[in-house]
Every structure is written in C-alpha cells, then in structure tokens.
Amino acid sequence: MAGLTDLTIAEARAQLRARKLSSRELTQAHVDAMARARELNAYITETPEKALTMAEAADKALKAGDGGVLTGIPLAIKDLFCTEGVLTTAASHILDGFKPPYESTVSANLWKAGAVMLGKTNLDEFAMGSSNTTSYYGPVHNPWRRKSSKEGRGDNRPLVPGGSSGGSAAAVAARIAMGATGTDTGGSIRQPAAFCGLVGLKPTYGRCSRWGVVAFASSLDQAGPMTRTVRDAAIMLGSMASHDPKDSTSVPRPVPNYEAALGQSIKGLRFGIPKEYRLDGMAPEIEKLWQQGIAWLKAAGAEPVDISLPHTKHALPAYYIIAPAEASSNLARYDGVRFGLRVPGDSLDGMYENTRAKGFGAEVRRRVLIGTYVLSAGYYDAYYLKAQRVRTLIARDFTEAYKKCDVILTPTAPSAAFAIGEKADDPIAMYLNDVFTVTVNLAGLPGISVPAGLSADGLPLGLQLIGRAFDEETLFRVAEMVEQAANFTATPSLNG
Ligand code: GLN
C-alpha cells in the first residue's frame, strides 16, 4: 500500500495546504524510513531533530495561510552544499568536522520556500566519479536490484546508484526523501537519476548560484533537482534558482514559473537526433529505448530532425583535462590550515603534504595530478589551451544544431547501473559513462534525464533532453511528454 513517503512533492503540497496532512507527520514518516534504510548508506548526516523543528514551523506557517512553494516538504541536500552549523564533508576525509558558518544560496532558497531538511547525502569524493564509490564514507547502494540476481542467477552484487549525486538518487528512489539537490559537472545529476529511475535536471550554467557549493570545476558545476516526477523537478528548480550577487557567474534573469510550462502541447516542436551519439557497440537496449523515445515524441506531434554534433568525440578528452585542471586549482585550499583535517609534520610544508596525502582519496589525487600536469608551463598550450578550444567548438556545434531544432533527444547513459566494484580498476571505463552528458556541461546548456524504461534485467534506463540556454521550460514540457508516454511506474520496492 502506498504510504506517506510515496507521495510526490506536488501531491504532498496539495494535502498540506488542504490541511489533510501535517508536515510533522510527513517528516516523521521520512525520518522513520531513513532509519530503516541505513544499509543503502545514502546519507552521511541525518538531521532528524532539525527536520522536526522545521516541520513544526512549516505547520505553523500553513495554519496561518502563509507558506511558501515548498512549505513542509522534506528534502535531502547533497553533502557538497554548505549548511550552516551542519557537518559538510564533500565525502572527503580532508573536510573532517567542517561545520560551515554559512548556508549555500541554493539550500537557503529552499528553506526560504519552506522546505524541511532531512540530512546530507553521500556522494563521490568532491563529486568526482560516476558511481558513488569514491566516498570516504563508503559506497552507496542502489535500491534497485537486477532481476536475475533476485532469481538467484547472475551477478548478485549490489549496484551503484550512479554518481556523483548517488546518495541523493538512492534517497529519493528509496522514498527516504521527497526530492534532493544534486550537482552536475559532467553528468552527476542526470546519470544517477537514470540509474535510479528518477528525473534529474542540470540547469543552464548560471541559473543556480554556486555560492556555498564546494567547488569541483567552477566553469562546469551546476546545482539542480532530483525528484520522482517532472512536475516535482519544476517545483524544486523554481525555488533553487535565483540571481545571486555573491556568484559572479549567476545570471540576472527572472526565474520563470516552471510549473506553468507543464501540460502544454509539443505539437510542431522539432527535436534533434545527433548522429554522433549513435556509438559503435552501444547496448541494443539503449538504442531501442532511444528509438522508442523518438516514436513517443512523434506520436505527440513533434517532428524529428537529423542533426550533427561533429566534435562530440573530443568531448570526453576535453572534459577530463578541463575538469581536473579546475579541480586541482580549487582543491589547493585544503592545506590543513583553514578547514577540516590537519596531519602534523616536521615543517609547514610537511604538514601540508601529510594532510593532503591522508585527506584525499585515490581518485581525487589522480585528478589533482592530471590537473597540475596539464596546467604546468610546458604543457599548458598542448593540453589545457587545446581542450578549451575544443570546448568552444562543442558549444558551436550546439548553436548550429539549434538552428534546426528546439531540443535534442539522446540516451542519458550508455548502460544501466553496474555492480559496485565492477569498473573500480579501470578509470577510463568509468569515465566513458559520461559520454552523453559531458557535452552539455562543456556548452553550459540545460539537460534533463527522464526515466523511460527498464533494461532486460529490470533496471531503470533514462532518456536525456538537452535544451537551449535558459530554456528549461521547453525541457520540462517535453520531459513531461516522455514521462507520460513511458508511464514508468516500477519502483525499487516492488522490484525488490
Ligand atoms: N563523472 C564525472 C566526473 O567524474 C562527472 C562528475 C560530476 O558531474 N560531478 O568528473
């Protein structure tokens, strides 16, 4: 039987406003469910007391008739967002014990809209990864299981939830949060959303403030919502987005009413199918899903157009130069002096070295090494500068494509969720996961993943829609069509 934790944000909001439900009841149901689902390792920090206090304040506001858009809705926050007085780790040992004296703009916006904080979710260390296996706090388990493993055949290892926002994805899929924030530098909202059967949106670069979000690669990072429905994502983004003078890359544009974009016809809309995304050796079920998506949009009156994004093949190499370069520079601040962990040494340099050697995990160290290398005097032109040029070409490909179409349809990821440990020894295989998502970050565009079907082994698969800059409204509108056509009702609990 469906319980309180199965409600969507939109459903709960209606019940809260009609006073058929209190935020206290709704929040308590989530707090109880969180305690029962700890084996997923979705949360690094649970904040049940804070949640219940916020829920009581929400109930008061609702009673007085002056709530905000999210009043009383319990949400989870990726542990990359600074939360005032609440441990913020970035899933790294190096931030041990760090309790920020300030709140990120995005989370502050959510609290202003009345949302209730359940806790901080697990992630890949500093958001570097596609599997949530690089966290200092251990891997997150996907609440979905392979059908064959349940039937006692095949590989029965638990699956990754995707990454880096894997804790947020697992929490929303397992009904231990109604929605969650994620961040996406190369796919970290969309890929875990696809792996866990959720909607995940990476907004246009500049739509959400990065202030108070622990920086990974500043020219690529964007915060966005992860939810169970397209409408819920529209509701959350409306509160998360804002112009923020504290982030000079945040854009001074009014935030549209994204919900108002829903329920509108897509008749006559042109959707592009990029030929370069048809990879050699792509899993047949991914190709089939893509064809299915094309058929759905056609049936809704939209028109497919063949497009070309010729520089796609250079996107992964460019991303894995630019992102580590920016990361190596951003991570220079963790030196044992200002934040978190300090490991003593014989000298100041010794203390820096010991702290960074102990504080960073293997993937973070690998990225710092790559980043420092490509930025060093002898290699800057050959690698970093060239990657930046490729980035410009990729952005131009999209500009050209949008002369012929309004939105682009692709798969979100080249496979369904894989087993924990499956790609652990092969960083390149892991990086290939981002093949359909990184181009969007390099071009600064919005992208959304919508659950669209199940793999042969009963695991969720997602379709991605990519939009024009600041046209999240069209994305929501088309995503809702896909959602309705796919009628994705499977849940991990029914599945398990
Ligand atoms: N998987 C990509 C990486 O490891 C993207 C991560 C992200 O979007 N934060 O860099």
Q: What are 16-34's pLDDT values in tens digits? A: 999 999 999 999 999 999 9
Over residues 293-337, the pLDDT tens digits come to 999 999 999 999 999 999 999 999 999 999 999 999 999 999 999
pLDDT of 200 strictly over 90: yes
- 185 Cβ below 6 A of ligand 1: yes
Judged by DSSP in three states, 53 sits in: helix
Nearest-CA residue for ligand 1 atom 5 is: 186
Q: One of 104, 135, 164, 242 is an active-site residue; which one?
A: 164
Q: What is the DSSP letter of 433?
A: G
Q: What integer is the mean pLDDT of 202-220?
A: 98
pLDDT at 49 over 70: yes
Q: Which atom of ligand 1 is nearest to the CA of 363?
A: 4
Q: Is the CB of 186 under 6 A from ligand 1?
A: yes
Ligand 1 proximity of 142 Cβ (cutoff 6 Å): no
Query: Could you identify the atom of ligand 1 that is nearest to the CA of residue 183?
Result: 9
Which is it for strands 43-46 and 116-121: parallel, antiparallel or unpaired?
Answer: antiparallel
What is the distance in A from the centroid of ligand 1 to the CA of 351? 29
Exposure pattern of 295-330 as b/e (b: 16+ CB <10 Å)?
ebbeebebebeebebebbebbbebbbbbbbbbbbbb
* From 22, 78, 209, 449, the catalytic residue: 78
* Residues β-bridged to residue 355: none
For ligand 1, whether the C-beta of 250 sits within 6 Å is no
**Residue among 251, 123, 142 nearest 185 (CA):** 123
Q: Is 168 a catalytic residue?
A: no
Catalytic residue among 188, 209, 242, 250, which?
188
- Cα–Cα distance list, 176 to 22, 75, 119, 387, 471 (Å): 17, 9, 10, 40, 31
Residue 131 CB–ligand 1 contact under 6 Å = no
- Tell me, in angstroms, the distance from the centre of ligand 1 to residue 130's CA: 6
What confidence tier does 231 reach under pLDDT thresholds 50, 70, 90? very high
Ranges of beta strands (E only) in 47-191 are: 74-78, 116-121, 179-184
240 CA distance to ligand 1 centroid (A)? 21
Q: Take atom 10 of ligand 1 and give the residue whose Cα is closest.
A: 128
Helices 315-330 & 386-401 angle (0-180, nearest 10)? 120
Atom number, ligand 1, closest to the C-alpha of residue 188: 8
Identify the band that residue 487 occupies on the pLDDT scale cut at 50, 70 and 90: very high
- The predicted pLDDT at position 495 comes to 47
Tens-place pLDDT, residues 158-185: 999 999 999 999 999 999 999 999 999 9
Does residue 361 surpass a pLDDT of 80? yes
128 ligand 1 Cβ < 6 A: yes
184 within ligand 1 shell (Cβ under 6 A) = yes
pLDDT of 380: 93
Ligand 1 centroid–CA 76 distance in Å is 20
Query: Residue 164 catalytic?
Result: yes
Provide the pLDDT for residue 496. 44
Say if ligand 1 is within 6 A of residue 129 CB. Answer: yes
* Dihedral angle of Cα 124, 128, 129, 132, to the nearest 10 degrees: 0
Q: Among the atoms of ligand 1, which is closest to the Cα of residue 323?
A: 10
Ligand 1 center to residue 124 CA distance, Å?
9
Does 188 sit in the ligand 1 pocket, CB within 6 Å? Answer: yes
Atom nearest to 128 CA in ligand 1: 4
φ/ψ of 292, rounded to 5, equals: -60, -45
Q: How many CA atoms lie within 13 A of 300 on its CB side?
A: 25
Is 288 one of the annotated active-site residues of the chain?
no
Residue of 79, 181, 185, 219 to mutate, ligand 1, most atoms within 8 A of C-beta: 185
Give CA 19 to chain center in angstroms.
Answer: 32
Cα(114) to centroid of ligand 1, in Å?
30
For 422-457, the pLDDT digits (tens) are 887 888 878 888 999 999 999 999 999 999 999 999
Query: How confident is the model over 249-296, as pLDDT tens digits?
Result: 999 999 999 999 999 999 999 999 999 999 877 889 999 999 999 999
Has residue 494 got a pLDDT over 60?
A: no
Please work out whether the CB of residue 221 comes within 6 Å of at least one atom of ligand 1: no
Distance 277 CA to ligand 1 centre (A): 19
Cβ 434 under 6 angstroms from ligand 1: yes
Query: What is the residue type of 67?
Result: G
Is 50 exceeded by the pLDDT of residue 210? Answer: yes
